[in-house]
Amino acid sequence: MLRDLIKEGGLYTAANLLTRGLTLILIPFYASLFSTSDFGILDILSVFGLFVTSVLCLQLNQGMGRYVAEPTNDKDKKRMIASTAIWFVILLYIIGTALFLLFPDIFIKILSADVEIPRRTFQWAIISITLTGIFYFIGVYIRFLRMTKAVALLSFTHAILTTLLTLLFVIYYKMGVDGVYLSSIIVTPFIIIAQTIVLRKELLFKVDSKLLKPLFRYSLPLIPGAISYVILNFTDRLFIKEQSMSDAGVYAMGSKFSQLISIIILGISSALGPIVYEKHLNENTKDQLARIFRLFIAAGSVGVLTLSLFTHETLVIFTNEKYYGASPIMPILYLSVFFTGFSMFSIGLHIKERTKIIGVIVVISAMLNIALNYFLIKEFHMLGAACATLISVCFNNFTLFFISQQYYRLEFPYVKIMFAFLLLFAFMYLGGFELKKLELNLWLSILAKAGIVLLFILYLYSSKLINFMKPINHLRK
């Protein structure tokens, strides 16, 4: 299993770095050509897009993936389940898009703040959201068929063509925010056609209404959780937007850099889910998954520490002065993204089909997030929003992880991992705040920060958390 994950997860991660990495490359471009208010509009519409896709797909992507990967289902049944889910969801997207386009002013009023979102921008955003949602939904089927190369190639092609057209429309034709959505509207239909060609032997042009029942039974309880997950991760933007769209843009810029961590997490989870569903009945799967968990903790914490220590340098290199205010919130956002990765190890709830539990926990977490944002943003502004998100994300993912342990237990060294986290927080504080008081020159500051990272890596090595070939019994001690 570990070998499969390295092979497939490595390919997914490389593809994500090439595709989503283009977004990071575009940050200087966005920073120079878009105002902070424009960037805030892009981010708010992105959040709205996640909400729309979470509702319209009815979370059937999760049910489809679960049953397509289930080893006890034969190929014909898997094809029919996937085909039924895909065509049904496409119909829902068409209906939903028509409603949004017919009544745009209702949603524009809700989403706008001191700067109103233009009607045409909203309409193009909705069409882009729909096409992208269909693209990703079909991509789930390809991924759970473990057609890794096809997923990587299609994702990269989609990203590079969209990026090139975005540059053309924004720089040459001066279309502003509209150019971002128009590029997606042009490119995505061709990629969807390419997906259907890839799936020509696996996708049937028919729907079996009887198969909707098990899909709904698995997926519908996840809808409140999916909506709450969007609220949990993006309420901060909505509250900040009420203060000003410009502040929302600065906050969004800070969160952009956390995508580097999410790219790696997405690469691992994209490969891990299908593999675990397929092999969860094997005797050694739990041991293998526990080793992968320790690898995730070690590599992720080093990444968070490194990025956190160099937040100011990152903003200086990639942005300009109007975005430097994002520096204090970036380490907190890095931690939030890192802890969301725990969800891919809460596999027991999915294997045992306890999806209602997931929905309940995420709803509670979202309510906690709303309350924390309401109180903390008033006092601490953007920093309060970032802290509210971190607290809520930790509550959500740790709770789900430990409940999942009751259904599919993984053995790992609790004490050593807890101490690693405490050391991580201490080093983040030391390098992010105390080091500034010394007023070192640039090169001495970089050297000191590199030394802090090295010390943390030495701890991980000495505690054997990065020695993944050791038996689990050695690590429990």
Give the per-residue pLDDT at 25.
67
Q: What is the DSSP letter of 170?
A: I
Give the per-residue pLDDT at 472.
42
Model-wide pTM > 0.85: no
User: In b/e form, how buried is each residue of 300-332, taking b as 16+ CB within 10 angstroms?
Assistant: bbbbbbbbbbbbeebbeebbeeebebbbbbbbb
Give the per-residue pLDDT at 244.
65
Residue 97 predicted with pLDDT over 60: yes
Tracing tokens 């233009």 back to the chain, one arrives at: 118
Give the per-residue pLDDT at 234.
65
Range in 135-144, 150-159, 261-270, 333-342 with the lowest mean pLDDT: 261-270
Of the chain, the percentage scoring pLDDT greater than 70 comes to 87
Range in 197-211, 308-322, 329-343, 417-431 with the lowest mean pLDDT: 308-322
Give the per-residue pLDDT at 196.
94
305 touches 456 (CB < 8 A):
yes
Question: What are the structure tokens assigned to 208, written together?
Answer: 């079996």
* Highest-pLDDT range among 92-106, 162-176, 210-224, 278-292: 92-106
Which pLDDT tens digit goes with each residue over 343-377? 888 878 877 777 778 878 888 888 898 899 888 88
Question: What are the structure tokens assigned to 258, written together?
Answer: 């956390």
Question: What are the structure tokens assigned to 416, written together?
Answer: 């050593």
More confident residue, 120 or 293: 120
Give the per-residue pLDDT at 17.
61
Give the per-residue pLDDT at 474.
41
Q: What share of the chain is helix, strand, coil (3-state, %, to 5)?
A: 85, 0, 15
pLDDT band of residue 387 (cuts 50, 70, 90) is very high
Average pLDDT over residues 125-136: 95
- How far is Cα 273 from Cα 137, in angstroms, rounded to an integer? 15
Of 183, 229, 275, give the one whose Cα is nearest residue 392: 229
Give the per-residue pLDDT at 451.
92
Average pLDDT, the chain: 82
Please give the backbone phi and psi of residue 408, each rounded to the nearest 5 degrees, phi first: -150, 85
Give the per-residue pLDDT at 470.
46
| Side chain identity, residue 92 | L
Which pLDDT tens digit goes with each residue over 222-244? 777 777 767 766 666 667 766 66
Q: What is the DSSP letter of 204?
A: -
DSSP one-letter string for 215-256: HHHHHTTHHHHHHHHHHHHHHHHHHHHHH-HHHHHHHHHHHH
Range in 187-191, 227-231, 304-308 with the lowest mean pLDDT: 227-231
Give the per-residue pLDDT at 454.
93
Give the per-residue pLDDT at 302.
92
Which pLDDT tens digit goes with each residue over 453-464? 999 999 888 887
Range in 32-46, 50-64, 382-396 with the lowest mean pLDDT: 32-46
Range in 39-43, 232-236, 262-266 with the lowest mean pLDDT: 232-236
- If DSSP states are collapsed to H, E and C, what string results for 63-123? HHHHHHHCCCCCHHHHHHHHHHHHHHHHHHHHHHHHHHHHCHHHHHHHHCCCCCCCHHHHH
- How far is Cα 12 from Cα 396, in angstroms, rounded to an integer? 26
Residue 283 predicted with pLDDT over 80: no
Average pLDDT over residues 22-28: 67
Which pLDDT tens digit goes with each residue over 391-403? 999 999 899 888 9
Residue 246 predicted with pLDDT over 90: no
* Highest-pLDDT range among 30-34, 256-260, 446-450: 446-450
DSSP one-letter string for 27-58: HHHHHHHS-HHHHHHHHHHHHHHHHHHHHHTT
